[in-house]
Chain A
Amino acid sequence: MQKSLRKYFAVFALPTLAAFVIAFLIPFVFGLYLSFTNFTTVTNTQWVGWENYVRAFTDNNDFLHALWITAAFTAVSVLSVNLLAFGLALLLTRGLKGTNLFRTVFFMPNLIGGIVLGYIWQLIINGLLLSAGVDITYDPKYGFWGLVVLMNWQMIGYMMIIYIAGLQNLPTDVLEAAEIDGASSWQKLRRVTIPMIMPSITICTFLTLTNSFKLFDQNFALTAGAPMKKTAMLALDIYNTFYGRIGDEGVGQAKAVLFFLMVAAIAALQLRATRSREVEQ
Chain B
Amino acid sequence: MRNESKGWKSVLLTVFLAVLAIFFLAPIFLVLMNSFKGQFYISDAPFALPDSETFVGLRNYWNGIEKVGFFSAFGYSAFITVFSVAAIVLFTAMTAWYLVRIKTRTANALYYLFVFSMIVPFQMVMFTMSKMANLLRLDNPLGIILLYLGFGSGLSVFLYSGFIKSIPLDVEEAAMIDGCRPLQTFFFVVFPILKPTAITVAILNAMWIWNDYLLPYLVIGSRYRTIPIAVQYLQGGYGSRDMGALMATLILAIIPIVIFYLACQKYIIRGVMAGAVKG
Show the binding face of A for B, using Cβ within 8 Å: 1-2, 4-6, 8-9, 11-13, 15-28, 30-31, 34, 41-42, 88, 91-92, 94-98, 101-116, 119-121, 123-124, 126-127, 130, 137, 153, 157-158, 161-162, 165, 176, 179, 203-204, 206-207, 210, 214, 216-217, 220-221, 235, 238-239, 242, 249, 252-253, 256-257, 259-260, 263-264, 267, 270, 274
Whether the Cβ atoms of B123 and A239 lie closer than 8 Å is: yes
Chain A residues lying within 8 Å of B277, measured Cβ to Cβ, are 203
* SS of A interface (majority): helix
Mask, B100-126, CB within 8 Å of A = 1, is 011110000010011001011111111
Chain A residues lying within 8 Å of B119, measured Cβ to Cβ, are 263-264, 267
From B62-70, B142-150, B192-200, give the one contacting chain A. Answer: B142-150
Chain A residues lying within 8 Å of B124, measured Cβ to Cβ, are 28, 31, 256-257, 259-260
Whether the Cβ atoms of B21 and A4 lie closer than 8 Å is: no
B261 within 8 A of A: yes
- Bound complex: CA A25 to CA B154 (Å): 11
Whether the Cβ atoms of A115 and B110 lie closer than 8 Å is: no
Q: List 3 tightest A-B contacts by C-beta distance, closest first.
A: A23-B150, A113-B211, A19-B150
- Bound complex: CA A96 to CA B15 (Å): 11
Which residues of chain B from 128 to 165 have a CB within 8 Å of any chain A CB?
128-129, 131-132, 136, 138, 146-151, 153-154, 157
In the complex, 24 of the A-B residue pairs with CB atoms within 8 angstroms, ordered by the A residue number, are: A2-B102, A4-B182, A11-B94, A12-B97, A16-B95, A22-B136, A23-B151, A31-B124, A31-B128, A104-B265, A105-B25, A119-B250, A120-B30, A124-B30, A124-B46, A127-B30, A127-B46, A162-B276, A176-B1, A207-B276, A216-B213, A235-B123, A239-B214, A267-B119
B58 within 8 A of A: no
Whether the Cβ atoms of B14 and A20 lie closer than 8 Å is: no
Chain A residues lying within 8 Å of B212, measured Cβ to Cβ, are 113
| Interface residue from B14, B147, B269 paired with A107 (Cβ < 8 Å) | B269
Mask, B198-210, CB within 8 Å of A = 1, is 0000000001001
- Bound complex: CA A34 to CA B127 (Å): 10
Chain B residues lying within 8 Å of A109, measured Cβ to Cβ, are 24, 27
| Interface residue from B150, B153, B235, B254 paired with A112 (Cβ < 8 Å) | B254
Show the binding face of B for A, using Cβ within 8 Å: 1-2, 10, 13-14, 16-18, 20-21, 24-25, 27-28, 30-31, 34, 42-47, 91-92, 94-95, 97-99, 101-104, 110, 113-114, 117, 119-129, 131-132, 136, 138, 146-151, 153-154, 157, 169, 172-173, 176, 182-183, 186, 207, 210-214, 227-228, 231-232, 235, 238, 246-247, 250, 253-254, 257-258, 260-261, 265, 268-269, 272-273, 276-277, 279
| Interface residue from B21, B27, B120 paired with A153 (Cβ < 8 Å) | B27
Distance from A178 Cβ to chain B, minimum over Cβ atoms (Å):
12
Chain A residues lying within 8 Å of B269, measured Cβ to Cβ, are 103, 107, 161
Whether the Cβ atoms of A1 and B172 lie closer than 8 Å is: yes
- Bound complex: CA A6 to CA B2 (Å): 59
- Bound complex: CA A4 to CA B91 (Å): 20
Whether the Cβ atoms of B95 and A27 lie closer than 8 Å is: no
Whether the Cβ atoms of B17 and A260 lie closer than 8 Å is: no
B96: nearest chain-A partner, CB-CB: A16
Whether the Cβ atoms of B250 and A26 lie closer than 8 Å is: no
A22: nearest chain-B partner, CB-CB: B150
- Bound complex: CA A31 to CA B117 (Å): 14
Known: A11-B182, A235-B121; 11 extra A-B contacts, CB below 8 A, are A12-B97, A16-B153, A19-B91, A20-B113, A42-B128, A97-B10, A101-B21, A104-B265, A105-B24, A216-B213, A264-B119
Whether the Cβ atoms of B120 and A116 lie closer than 8 Å is: no
Distance from A89 Cβ to chain B, minimum over Cβ atoms (Å):
12
Whether the Cβ atoms of A115 and B132 lie closer than 8 Å is: no
A11, A13, A21, A95 — most chain B CB neighbours (10 Å)? A13
